[in-house]
């Protein structure tokens, strides 16, 4: 996943928020980039809440503002699924915890050609990791990525974001489960169909050409 996604306020986003138990609405944002503020869904003790987070997991203190800012020593807008259980970044304070990052779709590039990808008639629940920085009350987050899938090799070979569906969303947010407990969610992810269409760019996502339907099977 190259590092851009988008959100819409439409029936699909309303349905995803209903599934998540969030009484709010998505904000139309056509080009969300790393370090931008994003909405995350956090499992509280009795209910789920929507919070704003920096889309960059590793943060550092800024002496001028007194706030936490993205730490550019690490490219941490994504987290590889095979690093969740092994990377010290997720164990050192503040420890990483699991969240959902709602989206309508995301962008990839093949050389200089941009593509918009989405699940037909659904919004996407990205599996994410987050940290809470108590000294400033800020959240930061990353999107979990899987190894590349053959069906997407002509668009992006390197990785695919973890897209959770059905009861997998509840398992991901379950505070009583450790990362190891829910490892099957990224080791054997849900199959899905993606729609892909060429666009001019994320800044000007005008579609051109036919929509291609890609079957991502993980059987």
- Does residue 1 have a pLDDT over 90? no
3-state secondary structure the chain: CCCCEEECCCHHHHHHHHHHCCCCCCCCEEEECCCCEEEEEEECCCCEEEEEEECCCCEEECCCCCCEEECCCCCCCEEEHHHCCCCHHHCCCCCCEEEEEEECEEEEEECCEEEEEECCCCCEEEEEEEEEECCCCEEEEEEEEEECCHHHCCCCCCEEECEECCCHHHHHHCCCCCCCCCCHHHHCCCCEEEEEEEEEECCEEEEEEEEEEEEECCC
pLDDT score for 2: 72
pLDDT reading at 42 higher than 90: yes
Residue 219: pLDDT band by 50, 70, 90 thresholds? Answer: confident
Q: According to the model, what pLDDT value does residue 111 have?
A: 86
> Taking 80 as the threshold, does the pLDDT of residue 53 lie above it?
yes
What's the mean pLDDT in 109-134?
96
Look at the chain and report how many structural domains it folds into.
1
Tell me the average pLDDT of the chain: 95
pLDDT in tens, 146-205: 999 999 999 999 999 999 999 999 999 999 999 999 999 999 999 999 999 999 999 999
78: domain CATH number is 3.90.1680.10
Domain that holds residue 74: 5-216
How confident is the model over 5-31, as pLDDT tens digits?
A: 999 999 999 999 999 999 899 999 999
């Amino acid at each position: 996943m190259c590092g851009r996604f988008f959100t819409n306020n439409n029936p699909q986003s309303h349905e995803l928020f209903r599934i998540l138990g969030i009484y709010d609405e998505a904000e139309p944002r056509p080009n969300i980039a790393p370090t931008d503020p994003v909405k995350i869904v956090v499992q509280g003790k009795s209910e789920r809440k929507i919070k704003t987070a920096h889309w960059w997991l590793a943060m550092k203190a800024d002496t001028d503002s007194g706030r936490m800012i993205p730490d550019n020593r690490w490219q941490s807008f994504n987290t590889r699924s095979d690093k969740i259980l092994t990377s010290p970044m997720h164990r050192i304070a503040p420890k990483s915890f699991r969240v959902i990052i709602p989206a309508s779709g995301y962008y990839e590039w093949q050389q200089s050609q941009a593509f918009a990808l989405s699940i037909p008639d659904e919004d996407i629940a990205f599996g994410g990791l987050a940290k809470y920085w108590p000294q400033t009350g800020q959240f930061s987050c990353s999107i979990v990525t899987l190894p590349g899938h053959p069906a997407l090799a002509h668009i992006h070979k390197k990785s695919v974001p973890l897209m959770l569906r059905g009861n997998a969303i509840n398992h991901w947010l379950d505070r009583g489960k450790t990362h190891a407990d829910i490892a099957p969610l990224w080791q054997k992810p849900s199959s899905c169909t993606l729609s892909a269409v060429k666009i001019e760019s994320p800044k000007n996502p005008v579609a051109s050409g036919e929509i291609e339907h890609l079957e991502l099977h993980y059987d």
